[in-house]
Structure 1
Amino acid sequence: MRKALSLAEPASPQAREGRRPGRVACAAGRGDAALTAMSGSIATATVATWLEERATLVVTGSDRLRWLNGLVTCNLAPLTPGQGAYGLATSKVGRILADVFVVLAADRMLVGCPVGRAAELHRSLESYLIMEDVEVEEASSAWRWLALHGPDAPALAARAAADAAGHAAPLFVLDAGDAVAVVPAASVAPVSEAVAAAGAPVLAPEAWEQRRVALGIPRFGVDFDEKTYPQEAALERRAVSFQKGCYLGQEVVCRLEMRGHVHRRLTRLALASVPAPGATVATEAGEAVGLVTSATALPDGTATALAMVKYAHSEPGTALRVGDLAARVASPDPGPLA
């Protein structure tokens, strides 16, 4: 009989230091208050979910860190085993190939990418292998990604990974204080039981999705895709390092940041009820300016949505409409604000 994993040891005070609660900045209003309330409740309790939409690429070889750092927007150079980062793989013209979680282990790096982009990302990465001592293997059937959100996330992820012979790292999932554990596929059931027993319930995908949308966190294939620039997806503040050295697509990404702006922007809206994804966003005069990409109800009965709108209409406080619903831009960009 397989021994059950135990994560009952409480997180140390040190593990809780520096935790930044999920925060939602938005214009005043009842729906905005609900956003803030939901954000606060999420920050006080740790929850988890299995990221079934994440495939796994395993990168090995002595040049792996330097090589991959030249192909993603996040800065991997200062990281050591047990650390990780959230970033983007971009094309040479700066568009997003995939968003990625990168977890460093002693002898490898694990890259979590959207399932539907794994083959393309694998092909793209290998096309930039010349003389480097690097191998990239598609290993999605062997590994599963557990995301943890809340104050005890890093400590629970580390213990779950250690007990299951996996790997873990603190990195941005829904907030800066989150973490992931990458464990063997056969360990899903015992890890789920152990994490739940330690006080972090494993949420169904639908419940996690509600939290994601409420916090304004975009998802590849839902809110943005391979035609999107980082600034259009409002990801430049948490997925792009503007201090690191060169990487594929850097020239275009930096030019957009330093010399102007994109033509559209993913923005959070506050509404009285939930609009349908794909619904048209319009000005009060009726001009179509964008589309709803995700939406969810809030605890007070109002709603929030993510919408890709023309940049000129993405300023906080801008009054818009989604069908018969009045809407207001609730924050300048998704995600917790620094």
Structure 2
Amino acid sequence: MTVLRSVHEAHGATFREVGGRRVVDTYGRPERTHRAVRNVVGTIEHGYGVIVVTGEDRVEYVDNAVSNRVPSEDGAGCYALLLDPDGRVDTDMYVYNAGERLLVFTPPQTAAALAAEWDEKTFIQDVDFEVATDDFAVFGVHGPKATEKIASVLHQTGTPEDVLTFERGELGDAGVTVVRTDNLAGEESYDVVCGAADAEAVFDTLVNRGLNAVPFGYRTWETLTLEAGSPLFDTEIAGALPNDLGLRNALDFEKGCYVGQEVVSRIENRGHPTQRLVGLAVEAVPAPGAAVFAGDEHVGEVSRAGQSPMREAPIALATVDWDLPAASLTVRVDGDPVGAQRVDLPFVDGSARSARLPAYE
């Protein structure tokens, strides 16, 4: 559940479920809001699950479990995956070193199960896991003026300079942590993390103080990330092989063994995966799972599609065969073939490139 339901309702919000958590769908006129974020700046309440990891062995334990290197220094983070024995993604996460604890931000539906799994696998290590989703609020600030927005309201510190690093400061009377995130919307991006008790004051500051920021919901978030070519957990990442998605920012191939690493490394060493994530310009919006054909050959499936406000045309992300034939592409929309053309990602160039933009060797 969003921690600010009544506040969002006062802004005209409607709601929906994402990963079992109630979030804002839209405040109305989502295409206009989308353009406002692309042109200036907007803010969204993100529905993360949160795990707090404490104990002397916290960094070593999480580092041994996930696909990327967990930083040992306070103020730094990483994007990482938890893989199953077949090398497929169980969950993705951001892991931040906050001094005497790690903060792990996950899709909301995976936090409790992940904390329980890690707790069951703890033997002699000094490490504890607490699901603290309801103790925090996380507000994303996205847009070409995101840095100016944060600088106009943040006190006692400056904006963090490097991606996935953070600074501690104040917004009004509230203590906050400001993270420079990885630009999933294709724009300069920050997460502002605060205690749940301070959420209303922080949201008001982000929307109304300093440089104003338009509030937006998940419908706009999905079109922003689609235009940016960013795979998301629910639609592209869950159950996938990270190499097929080109998620190189989540993998450290020089690490020691972790669950699923051997499979990922074998794929890497073969030269390329069997599939890839591509962008399609389509003549009509297909449903998720719609078949992609090259001539009469089935070559893949659409993972996500929508009307791009910036291109004013339908676009889609699709997982297709690596050796995609040169034949003309079509997708199935309501059972009928509709023309499609592969295009380079991102669909829209914003003020920053998404760190999840597919990258293949």
Q: Deviations over 1:229-252 (max 9, x none)?
A: 1112331x2221234444332222
Residue 36 of structure 2 contacts residue 42 of structure 2 at CA under 8 Å; is this kept in 1? Answer: no
Counterpart of 1:320, as a letter, is: L
Counterpart of 2:316, as a letter, is: A
Matching of residue 287 in structure 1 with residue 294 in structure 2: no
Pair 1:117–1:70, CA change in 2 (3 A): same
Matching of residue 140 in structure 1 with residue 133 in structure 2: yes
Residue 223 of structure 1 contacts residue 293 of structure 1 at CA under 8 Å; is this kept in 2? Answer: yes
Q: Secondary structure at the match of 1:132?
A: coil
Q: 1: CA distance between counterparts of 2:312 and 2:189?
A: 27
Matching of residue 223 in structure 1 with residue 217 in structure 2: no
Q: Deviations over 1:126-158 (max 9, x none)?
A: 243222211111111111222233456468299
Pair 1:46–1:188, CA change in 2 (3 A): same
Larger RCO (CA under 8 A, 6+ residues apart): 1
Q: Secondary structure at the match of 2:242?
A: coil
TM-score, with structure 1 as normaliser: 0.76
Q: 2: CA distance between counterparts of 1:217 and 1:183?
A: 26
Pair 1:239–1:43, CA change in 2 (3 A): farther
Mind listing any 5+ residue stretches in structure 1 that lack a counterpart? 1-38
- Select the residue among 297, 300, 303 that pairs with 2:314: 303
Q: Secondary structure at the match of 1:217?
A: coil
Count residues with an aligned counterpart.
293
TM-score, with structure 2 as normaliser: 0.71
Q: What does 1:57-72 align with in structure 2 at a 5 Å threshold?
A: 57-72=51-66
Q: Secondary structure at the match of 1:162?
A: strand
Q: 2: CA distance between counterparts of 1:233 and 1:187?
A: 37
Matching of residue 322 in structure 1 with residue 331 in structure 2: yes
Matching of residue 247 in structure 1 with residue 274 in structure 2: no
CA offset at residue 294 of structure 1? 1.0
Moved more, 216-225 or 196-205: 196-205
- Select the residue among 204, 212, 218 that pairs with 2:225: 212
Q: 2: CA distance between counterparts of 1:159 and 1:51?
A: 19
Pair 1:198–1:296, CA change in 2 (3 A): farther
Residue 228 of structure 2 contacts residue 345 of structure 2 at CA under 8 Å; is this kept in 1? Answer: no
Residue 281 of structure 1 contacts residue 288 of structure 1 at CA under 8 Å; is this kept in 2? Answer: yes
- Which residue is equivalent to 1:162? 169
Q: Secondary structure at the match of 1:75?
A: coil
Residue 246 of structure 2 contacts residue 358 of structure 2 at CA under 8 Å; is this kept in 1? Answer: no
- Select the residue among 216, 230, 234 that pairs with 1:203: 216
CA offset at residue 305 of structure 1? 0.8
- Select the residue among 65, 70, 86 that pairs with 1:93: 86
CA offset at residue 336 of structure 1? 4.1
Residue 38 of structure 2 contacts residue 187 of structure 2 at CA under 8 Å; is this kept in 1? Answer: no
Q: 2: CA distance between counterparts of 1:87 and 1:154?
A: 25
Q: Secondary structure at the match of 2:245?
A: coil
Q: Secondary structure at the match of 1:232?
A: helix
Q: 1: CA distance between counterparts of 2:321 and 2:307?
A: 24
CA offset at residue 104 of structure 1? 2.2
Counterpart of 1:262, as a letter, is: P
Pair 1:80–1:306, CA change in 2 (3 A): same
Q: 2: CA distance between counterparts of 1:332 and 1:211?
A: 13
Q: Secondary structure at the match of 2:129?
A: strand
Matching of residue 51 in structure 1 with residue 62 in structure 2: no
Query: What is the alpha-carbon root mean square deviation over aligned residues?
Result: 3.0
CA offset at residue 111 of structure 1? 0.8
Mind listing any 5+ residue stretches in structure 2 that lack a counterpart? 1-33, 156-167, 347-353
Pair 1:135–1:111, CA change in 2 (3 A): same
Matching of residue 192 in structure 1 with residue 203 in structure 2: yes
Pair 1:336–1:47, CA change in 2 (3 A): farther
Counterpart of 1:92, as a letter, is: P
Residue 86 of structure 1 contacts residue 238 of structure 1 at CA under 8 Å; is this kept in 2? Answer: yes
**Identity of aligned pairs, percent?**
30
Counterpart of 1:213, as a letter, is: L
CA offset at residue 301 of structure 1? 2.3
Q: 1: CA distance between counterparts of 2:275 and 2:120?
A: 31
Q: 1: CA distance between counterparts of 2:154 and 2:328?
A: 47
